[in-house]
Chains A and B, each alone.
Chain A
Amino acid sequence: MGAVHSRHITNKHRFIGFVLIGLVVYILSNIVDEWRAYQGATVAVFVVAIASVILLTGYSGQISLGHGALLAVGAYTAALTQIYFSAPIWICFVAAVLSTALFGAILGAAAARLSGPYLAGTTLALAVGLPSIANQFSILGGEQGITFDAGWPPLSLGETFTQYKWFLWIATLTALISLWWIQNILRSRYGRSWRAVKSNEVAAELVGIHLGRSKVLAFTVSAGIAGLAGALLAMTVNNVSPSAFPLALSFSIATGAVLSGVSTLGGVMIGSLALVAIPLIATSISDRWSGSENLATVLPDFIVSALLILTVFIAPKGPIEKHRSRHSK
């Protein structure tokens, strides 16, 4: 079903699609106000973060409930690179990717031996444990955290070019480039070997795939991408502190991955948009129906959780696969 459908789509078509998305964001960025631009940048951050979870869980079959911690590693690396080497922002991003990938490789070496509930428990403990050690080392700035200043937009873009519009541009461009790279690696021999390991470990080993190496590589790549998302997040909020990476962030990313359809990269926009848009929709609903402040605080979580359960029941492979399978029948 999926295979028949995807044969018609070549990489050229996808490239045009990516350019079109970039164009739409470019046009939107000129219309919307600062607040919407900030939200747009947040969507782009979630796209990168969710893509890293989809790569790991959907394609390589390893569970992670701790991607928030990997985002934290990336964010702190970016901020420290800027503070101590006063490096330009793109070097900070590269540093974030490299250091988080290294961290992911070490973690992946331990995780490759684990499966199912053991891996879920380890990553969960990481999500709770890692951000809190920032309080222990003064170089990480404790509870207040450290600043990460991406700088004002270059003057060549004009006097009226605003800060968040600039962030939106950077975040969108980074997200598109990383998605392009991810969808290529998923189609390469590495992506194929990850899927082989996921669907049947014994069979994968028989055709000559090294199980451990394949799993560690997936963890490393996924961590690098998560680190990039962390650096982008640090950029949009100007600051890195432990409270920016609570357990709830890790859960949100996993939630977004399921809403997007965890086994296909194609739906990654859906989950990110949902995570950012639902709180807004919930607020407007509760404003219209009742002035209850209590309802307003509760409704976003309620809607996200209900959607999550619905997705698991109705479209466990995600909205896109659901759509595809209906049309191929």
Chain B
Amino acid sequence: MFEFVNTLLIGITAGSIYSLMAIAIVLVWRSTRVVNFAAGGIALASTFVGSTILEITGSFWIALPVAMLAGAALSAFIEYFFLRPLLKRSGDKNQEIFLPIIATLGILGIMKAVLHFIYGEKIGVLSPPLSDKGFIVSGESIALSPLRLLILGIVLLLMIALTLIFQRTNLGLSLRAASFAPEISRLSGIRVDLVRTVGWAISGAAGATAGILQTVNGSGAVTPEAFEFSLLLVFGFVAAVIGGIESLVGAVVGGLTLGIILAIILMYLGSSLVFFAAFLILILVLLLRPNGIIGVKGGRRA
């Protein structure tokens, strides 16, 4: 029982980080209908920015917001200079999602190569701001540590902030309108192009946070070829698809489901089945609901 609760706690922490990455992918999909593999590169680059800032200032609380800003700027840059011209060219044919996928894969490759060139074999260190020793409950150490609590807190805070932005502000309204019906939004005076760039920027900030938290939760170090980041990208994407790729709530549900089930499998069945389990979960969910857990049948086609 004790072990099971610990496994759950580990799974929830990992899952909340996947949720953030899934949110980053959902935001881009909703605003521009692009499956954004560059999100992995954005997360990686901003984590390096974070580690550099941490090295200079010594404060995690300066490093995190700076990394988020860097992620937002980088993401907006990519949208403005690469995806916007590409999508303008291919028109609004929604079926053609293969080329944007390939373009973002190319951008991911370039970002990794550039980071590798700058940092070489150097490792970016991101030491956690709080202790990762578990709290002591009735004499035994549990998997919930101050650090894990902090990670959950940051994720929760970001989700609340995002919900408020989307439900309570004019910006959120334009974001939702622009993805729901771009033509009508344009006619009613929303600057759809600008709104899309903002969507990408928010996604970049979410991805940067996911990258920093993943590193802090893991080894505390980041390299340009870090396996943790491929993992983050793949599981974030899988979580987004499980959730129905349209919905922010779905992304959170998908991320937590994936995190918890994978933690249980890792604990009781061994590590070599984890990746295959992710595939099985995805295909089971999609067989039962081809548009994801929260997806709408026949979806909105913005």
Identify the A interface with B (CB < 8 A): 57, 61, 63, 65, 110, 113-114, 116-118, 120-122, 124-126, 128-130, 132-133, 135-136, 247, 251, 254-255, 258, 262, 294-295, 297-299, 301-302, 304-306, 308-309, 312-313, 316
Whether A298 pairs with B276 at a CB distance below 8 angstroms is no
Q: Tell me, yes or no, whether B292 is within 8 Å of chain A by CB.
A: yes
Determine the main DSSP class of B at the interface with A: helix
A247–B277 Cα distance when bound, in Å, is 16
Chain B residues lying within 8 Å of A312, measured Cβ to Cβ, are 86, 99, 102-103, 106
Chain A residues lying within 8 Å of B95, measured Cβ to Cβ, are 61, 116
A-B contact pairs, 7 of them (CB 8 A): A63-B98, A113-B286, A121-B245, A122-B241, A308-B102, A312-B102, A316-B89
Nearest 8 pairs of A and B residues by beta carbon: A305-B109, A121-B241, A135-B272, A308-B106, A129-B279, A302-B113, A129-B276, A125-B279
Chain A residues lying within 8 Å of B275, measured Cβ to Cβ, are 125, 128-129, 132-133
Q: Tell me, yes or no, whether B156 is within 8 Å of chain A by CB.
A: no
Extra inter-chain contacts (11) besides given A251-B105, A301-B113, A306-B110, CB under 8 Å: A113-B290, A117-B241, A128-B275, A129-B279, A247-B234, A254-B102, A294-B117, A298-B116, A302-B114, A305-B113, A316-B89
A107 CB, nearest partner CB in chain B, Å: 9
Chain A residues lying within 8 Å of B272, measured Cβ to Cβ, are 132-133, 135-136
Whether B290 pairs with A130 at a CB distance below 8 angstroms is no
A132–B271 Cα distance when bound, in Å, is 9
Chain B residues lying within 8 Å of A121, measured Cβ to Cβ, are 237-238, 240-241, 245, 282
Question: Chain B residue with minimal CB distance to A133?
Answer: B276
Number of interface residues of B (CB under 8 A): 52
Chain B residues lying within 8 Å of A305, measured Cβ to Cβ, are 105-110, 113
Which of A118, A125, A247: most chain B Cβ within 10 A? A125
A144–B230 Cα distance when bound, in Å, is 23
Chain B residues lying within 8 Å of A133, measured Cβ to Cβ, are 272-273, 275-276
Question: Chain B residue with minimal CB distance to A308?
Answer: B106
A207 CB, nearest partner CB in chain B, Å: 19
Chain B residues lying within 8 Å of A299, measured Cβ to Cβ, are 113
Whether A308 pairs with B117 at a CB distance below 8 angstroms is no
Whether A117 pairs with B29 at a CB distance below 8 angstroms is yes
Q: Tell me, yes or no, whether B101 is within 8 Å of chain A by CB.
A: yes
Chain B residues lying within 8 Å of A117, measured Cβ to Cβ, are 29, 35, 97, 240-241, 245
